[in-house]
Amino acid sequence: MLGLTTTILAADDSIGIVKGRVVNGSEGGSGVAAQEITIKTFENSSQINSTTAKTDTDGRFVFNSLSTRPGYSYQVVLTFQETEYFSELFSFVEGETSKSIELTVYYSTSSDEAIRVTTARTVIYVETDSLRVTEYYLVNNEDDQTYIGLSRAADGIRETLWFPLPDEATELQLASGLMECCFFGSEGGFIDSMPVLPGVKEVSYSYIIIPSSNTYDFSRRINYPTANYDLLVQGEGIDVTSDQLAKEESLDMAGILFSYLSGTALTPGDTLVIRLSGLSGADNQEVILWVVVTLVVITLGAGSVYLLRKRGLQPVSPEDSLNQKKQELLVELAQLDDDFEDGKIQREAYLRLRAEKKSELVALVHKSREVW
């Protein structure tokens, strides 16, 4: 009877296997043997099970008896030197019974010497009686080790990246690269506690400023070596000046002019002061949505040629349904963020769905560029 059961299981094409290997990407990396690794099982985006295994001397691992039926997906997770590493969610396609996974980990470091900002961008939208400010960063960890920061004496939480906020900032909204669970207020800004892996990390957030007059001095501290900094201020008739930044040719986005200032090779400890005069205007929510779509591409690097060449951007035709779909995706992304913050969706499903919607948004932007 045991032999018969084994034969039946072996012939069941709904049973899959995952073979994988943990690799240390740091120079001279080792320590991948005897690591506990977990595979999480999801059914229709909800986690239903998890199983652990140990890596062998070469960092290899195997998970057997996994369902290959539609609706099932998996994720491999490993905590190495206080940093959680995880694979993308994956599924077995029809007729597939085996998967190969390679998970790269790195040594951890508490030194931020390799942290650089390749691009920082501040976009200020002039609204009625307020300024809506969006900050974008491309943070580059130039080391081959994961930066985990220093532990706070009070609670042991590790502080990694610091981001500036003006004293008058309110209604902080986190966007890409930041999570509600992992940021903490700090003097002059806030601190992120998420580890920074080698390579580039995209970060963005927004806030509101209510000026007390039609003139406002926007102050921004530089905390990391910054290769390029761009400042865009929306609205005609707004005078924008700074002693530290160069005045560039204005940009045209969706028929709205943006004053454009830039700076290079900024050093930690620098404080930029930008004076905005002639502040008055109306709400431009539709313009903001359109510009956010454009800046998604710019931040990812696909559209930076427009900014670098200072060419005017042309809006999509109002009749074009692509623009409506992009705005719908932005709303869906915002709702997804809210659902995750409210605990209505698990982290793994949130990350997967957000990546899918962001990819769809970028694809639509590329399609829009073809229309232009």
Do residues 127 and 51 share a domain?
no
pTM of the prediction? 0.70
Q: Give me the domain span that covers residue 163.
A: 115-315
Domain for residue 6, yes or no?
no
Amino acid at 370: E
Confidence at residue 303, expressed as pLDDT on a 0 to 100 scale? 36
Q: For residues 177 and 71, state if they share a domain.
A: no
pLDDT in tens, 287-299: 555 555 555 554 4
| Residues 86 and 163 reside in one and the same domain | no
Residues 145 and 276 in one domain: yes
* One domain for residues 280 and 180: yes
Q: 296: which 2 tokens?
A: 């998604």
371 within domain boundaries: no
If asked whether residues 75 and 160 sit together in one domain, one would say no
In the chain, the number of structural domains is 2
Q: Parallel, antiparallel, or unpaired for β 130-141 and 115-127?
A: antiparallel
Residues 62 and 135 placed together within one structural domain of the fold: no
Hey, CA dihedral for 168, 116, 360, 322, is it positive or negative? Answer: positive
Regarding whether 37 and 120 lie in a shared domain, the answer is no
pLDDT in tens, 26-71: 999 888 999 999 999 999 989 999 999 999 999 999 999 999 999 9
Same domain flag for 251 and 270: yes
Strands (DSSP E) along 176-303, which ranges?
A: 183-186, 189-192, 199-209, 215-221, 226-234, 239-242, 246-253, 256-266, 271-277
CA 144 vs CA 147, 194, 233, 313: distances in Å: 9, 17, 37, 38
- b/e map 260-280, b = 16+ CB within 10 Å: bbbbeebeeeeebebebeebe
In which residue ranges of the chain is pLDDT below 70?
1-13, 280-329, 331, 339, 342-352, 355-372
Whether residue 337 is contained in a domain is answered as: no
Is 128 a domain residue? yes
Report the CATH number at residue 161.
2.60.40
CATH classification of the domain holding 40: 2.60.40.10
Q: Are residues 91 and 142 in the same domain?
A: no
Last residue of a domain, one of 277, 295, 315: 315
Report yes or no on 271 lying in a domain: yes
- The per-residue pLDDT for 325 is 62
* pLDDT for the residue numbered 180: 87
For 83-128, write each residue's pLDDT tens digit: 999 999 999 999 999 999 999 999 999 999 999 999 999 999 988 8
292 within a domain of the structure (yes/no): yes
Examine the fold and report which residue of 294, 315, 336 is the final residue of a domain before the chain moves on: 315
**Residue ending a domain, choose from 106, 128, 153:** 106
Residues 210 and 122 in one domain: yes
Cα–Cα distance, 110 to 245 (Å, whole number)? 32
Report yes or no on 36 lying in a domain: yes
Q: For residue 351, is it within any domain?
A: no
Same domain (yes/no): 207, 61: no
